[in-house]
Amino acid sequence: MPDKDETPFERLWADNDTERALSEPALVVDVDGFEGPLDLLLHLARNQKVDLARISVLALAEQYLVFVERARHFRLELAADYLVMAAWLAYLKSKLLIPRQPGDEEATGEELAAVLQFRLQRLEAMRDAAARLVNRNRLGRDVFARGMPEAVIVEKRNEYSASLYDLLTAYASQRQRQAITNVTIAKRGVWSLKEARAILMRLVGQMRDWTALDSFLLDYLATPEERVTAIASSFAASLELVREGHLEMRQEQAFASLYMRSKPKPSGIKLMEATGD
Amino acid sequence: MIEGGPAAVVPFMKEDDESTENDGNPAERLHLSEAMRMAEALVFASAEPVTEKALAARLPDGIDVPRAMAELQRFYEKRGVNLVRVADAWAFRTAGDLAFLMSRDAVQQKKLSRAALEVLAIIAYHQPVTRAEMEDIRGVETSKGTLDLLMETGWVRMRGRRRVPGRPVTYGTTESFLDHFGLAEVRDLPGMEELKGAGLLSTRMPSNFSMPQPPADPDELTEDEDPLSDIDLEELGLLTPRVEE
Amino acid sequence: MIEGGPAAVVPFMKEDDESTENDGNPAERLHLSEAMRMAEALVFASAEPVTEKALAARLPDGIDVPRAMAELQRFYEKRGVNLVRVADAWAFRTAGDLAFLMSRDAVQQKKLSRAALEVLAIIAYHQPVTRAEMEDIRGVETSKGTLDLLMETGWVRMRGRRRVPGRPVTYGTTESFLDHFGLAEVRDLPGMEELKGAGLLSTRMPSNFSMPQPPADPDELTEDEDPLSDIDLEELGLLTPRVEE
């Protein structure tokens, strides 16, 4: 191995030209290699070979969904983050494809697509920034300090030194030592209320308009065996979030889609709609 | 006072002779020269950057420290060792163009993971930044060890709390981050101005951010798009099943 | 090649112009200047004096190392830092007449012990806190020496006495604690979720684990605290004039 201390991933990143993936057809996209769904999306977006500002978000959403479908077909385990993104993209796709209904309060597909584009551009910008940063002349690698320092200039009057990090590490580790941990981690298979809550918050947290997310959520996040527990937990979690004032829900009729949105700041009026009956 | 040849190797004196600057008073110049020698010695003796405050405390009274340092810096500009500014402190560092010579002896540094670097860049460009904002930018939770590791390197620190409900802790970079990456200040981060101008350092989508033109028929591909075929997907490796280890 | 004013700060070039020495060939001089820059950087960065042999191995071929070093030495002669010869090796040293500057900095900074850090952190988070309470939290007794040391740092102070039998002294942090650790207020210390998020605290803490929120105003006595009276201070030995060591 020529570059033994370089993971395939670092190499992948090191030459982050947009050509890479297409010129190397053998490249296997491995979810483990990605830093989350946005990273995967960025990778797919680069394959469109256009400026991120001119990208087709619809095509991108479709590619991503195909990817997730494939992964599921091969029974690869995808982290919840990827599935949350899939649910959101499926929703975005439907918004892009279905013409806006009169009186529709929801954000348009185009608005949602713009948000996604912004996030991709911002992530890419940070990527590039990281690369430029790490390639600068660095102290201890390219430039050096005096090898035989003759004095330490003490500026603080205090003769004791300690950093906030030292302090926090000391506190956390000793409190941890004291708290006897005999807690075992529950096996997955059942959606805990906490998990469902976290997922819901991620998905709906940013949505200010009524959004029917439940179906997307279930399609992408739950395997058939998990469906029941997923429904139960996310429903219970959503009720809890409503009670705490984070979320509002609405249902047109029994068994119809559940609409959710994050609660607007002044509350009251909208709650009326949430009753359904 | 000193003429001809030898003066060339005593540049403070040299400048004295040639100086056309405002304060040509020889006594004053001598005073400044001596202060510069002292500053040079102090900074040279320390491996860590020395703050202007610490220098001021040790130099004769009435010395314009920033000016003396700026002059010293100019003097060392073309040498094998440069005087560099790190925030409000000064340090001598080997010249960047000699990296080829120096790195031969460099101890291999531990590499930061890609995730850690990305988080570092986000903290540097967006500081003060909360964990939730980092997560929003990267679209993924920052794994537990990453911030810990960055704080351990001494490049990242907790800065305080954002004065908003929930008072989340904010993160920023340290002076040793600047020192390590050869930056005088955060503003000097590569591309900082452009990124700011492009609205990409905002945690929220800026209102002037261009909205994509909604295509007349979203199903119709634009002229620079090709339809996605199964072959494409295969090429992208998206159809290749992951090999189980 | 370089004329007039700016040349004053580029002494190698300067010398080039004025050199009356034997080998005035400009190309050769440039070559030598570059070699001198390299030697300067190498000696500066080295942890020990550098032999001429080691220098010769790194400098371009054909360089007259002794001559280059002699010239460098002459260059640094009048500066705050001198290039000195140690046996057959070269090193930079503070100019002898400036040694007085260095001796002032002989104070050695000491690191706080692990135990002291722990106690300090507990005082910060749990203030007002008594010694017995510290023991509860840490599971080990806190020695008087540790508390004395912390008081000596100026980061910890006695706040008052708890209104319980025995009237134990309560401890808290000071303004200079905040200063030193770069906190605007005690409440800026990160909470449990943030310690977890930063990877400092395990995410699998038992459900009954909790961390206190430090008080908004650490100077205000809580309702179960009495202020320290003069009699208390005397009893604690704090009014006795401190004997100078």
Least confident of A163-177, A205-219, A232-246, B224-238: B224-238
* Chain C residues close to B44, C-beta within 8 Å: 80-81, 92, 94
Q: What is the 3-state secondary structure (H, E, C) of chain A?
A: CCCCCCCHHHHHHHCCCCCHHHHCCCCCCCHHHCCCHHHHHHHHHHCCCCCHHHCCHHHHHHHHHHHHHHHHHCCCCCCHHHHHHHHHHHHHHHHHHCCCCCCCCCCCHHHHHHHHHHHHHHHHHHHHHHHHHHCCCCECCCECCCCCCCCCCCCCCCCEECCHHHHHHHHHHHHHHHCCCCCCCCCCCCCCHHHHHHHHHHHHCCCCCCECCHHHHHHHHCCHHHHHHHHHHHHHHHHHHHHCCCEEEEECCCCCCEEEEECCCCCCCHHHHHHCC
* Chain A residues close to C112, C-beta within 8 Å: 160-162, 166
Contact between chains at B45 and A63 (C-beta distance less than 8 A): no
pLDDT at residue C240, rounded to an integer: 55
Q: Which value, to the nearest 10 degrees, does the dihedral of the CA atoms of residues B59, B61, B67, B73 take?
A: -10
Please give the average per-residue pLDDT across A234-241, as a whole number.
81
pLDDT at residue C104, rounded to an integer: 58
Walk me through the domains of chain C, giving residue ranges and CATH numbers.
26-105 (1.10.10.10), 114-235 (1.10.10.10)
> At residue B227, does pLDDT exceed 60?
no
Hey, is C84 helix, strand or coil?
strand
Tokens of C70: 């002699």
| Local confidence band at A184 (pLDDT 50, 70, 90 cut-offs) | very low
* Chain A residues close to C176, C-beta within 8 Å: 158
Chains that touch C (3 or more CB pairs under 8 A): A, B
Q: Evaluate whether A199 touches C225 at the Cβ level (below 8 Å).
A: no
* Chain B residues close to A141, C-beta within 8 Å: 99, 103, 106, 109
> At residue B171, does pLDDT exceed 60?
yes
Q: Report strand pairing: C89-94 vs C81-86.
A: antiparallel
Q: What is the DSSP-derived secondary structure letter of residue C157?
A: E
Contact between chains at A126 and B91 (C-beta distance less than 8 A): no
- Tell which residue, C176, C143, C141, C140, has the closest CA to residue C157: C176
> A52: number of CA atoms within 13 Å, CB side?
22
Query: CA-CA distance, B136 to B150, in Å (whole number)?
Result: 19
> At residue B174, does pLDDT exceed 90?
yes
Q: What are phi and psi of B92, to 5 degrees?
A: -95, 135
pLDDT at residue A153, rounded to an integer: 65
> At residue B65, does pLDDT exceed 90?
yes
Burial environment of residue B202 by CB neighbours within 10 A (0 to 12, 13 to 18, 19 or more):
middle
| Better-predicted residue by pLDDT, B245 or A131 | A131
Question: Whose structure tokens read 């993160």?
Answer: B171
Tally Cβ neighbours within 10 Å of residue A5. Answer: 9
**Could you say which of C5, C41, C77 has the minimum Cβ distance to residue B95?**
C41
Contact between chains at B118 and A27 (C-beta distance less than 8 A): no
Residues contacting C9, CB < 8 A, separation 6+: B11, B15, B74, B75, B77, B78
> At residue A163, does pLDDT exceed 60?
yes
Query: CA-CA distance, C191 to C168, in Å (whole number)?
Result: 27
Q: Evaluate whether A140 touches B109 at the Cβ level (below 8 Å).
A: yes
pLDDT at residue C103, rounded to an integer: 63
pLDDT along chain C (245 residues), means of 10: 36 41 67 92 94 93 92 93 92 90 66 92 94 91 91 92 91 92 90 90 83 85 84 67 48
Please give the average per-residue pLDDT across B39-62, as a whole number.
91
Range among A19-28, A40-49, B9-18 with highest mean pLDDT value: A40-49
Q: What is the DSSP-derived secondary structure letter of residue B142?
A: P
Hey, is B133 helix, strand or coil?
helix
pLDDT at residue A75, rounded to an integer: 65
pLDDT at residue A82, rounded to an integer: 85
- Tell which residue, B77, B75, B68, B31, has the closest CA to residue B50: B68
Least confident of B8-12, B221-225, C118-122: B8-12
> At residue B103, does pLDDT exceed 90?
no
Least confident of A73-82, B178-187, C72-81, C126-135: A73-82
> At residue B88, does pLDDT exceed 90?
yes
Least confident of A253-257, B73-77, B98-102, B106-110: B106-110
Q: Which residues of A touch C (CB under 8 A)?
A: 144-148, 150-154, 156, 158-164, 166-183, 185
> At residue A16, does pLDDT exceed 60?
no
* Chain B residues close to C58, C-beta within 8 Å: 101, 104
Contact between chains at C45 and B94 (C-beta distance less than 8 A): yes
| Better-predicted residue by pLDDT, A22 or C58 | C58
Contact between chains at A180 and C124 (C-beta distance less than 8 A): no
Query: CA-CA distance, A78 to A70, in Å (whole number)?
Result: 11
Q: What percent of chain A has pLDDT over 70?
A: 67
Give the tens place of pLDDT for each residue, A111-129.
889 889 999 999 999 999 9
Query: CA-CA distance, A172 to A222, in Å (whole number)?
Result: 36
**Could you say which of B41, B92, B149 has the minimum Cβ distance to residue C94?**
B41
Q: Evaluate whether A239 touches A196 at the Cβ level (below 8 Å).
A: no
Query: CA-CA distance, C143 to C139, in Å (whole number)?
Result: 13
Please give the average per-residue pLDDT across A138-167, as a whole number.
81
Q: pTM value?
A: 0.73
Q: Evaluate whether C64 touches C58 at the Cβ level (below 8 Å).
A: no
| Local confidence band at A158 (pLDDT 50, 70, 90 cut-offs) | low
Give the tens place of pLDDT for each residue, B17-49.
444 445 567 777 778 889 999 999 999 999 899
| Local confidence band at A165 (pLDDT 50, 70, 90 cut-offs) | very high
**ipTM score:** 0.73
Least confident of A140-154, A155-169, A252-266, B62-76: A252-266
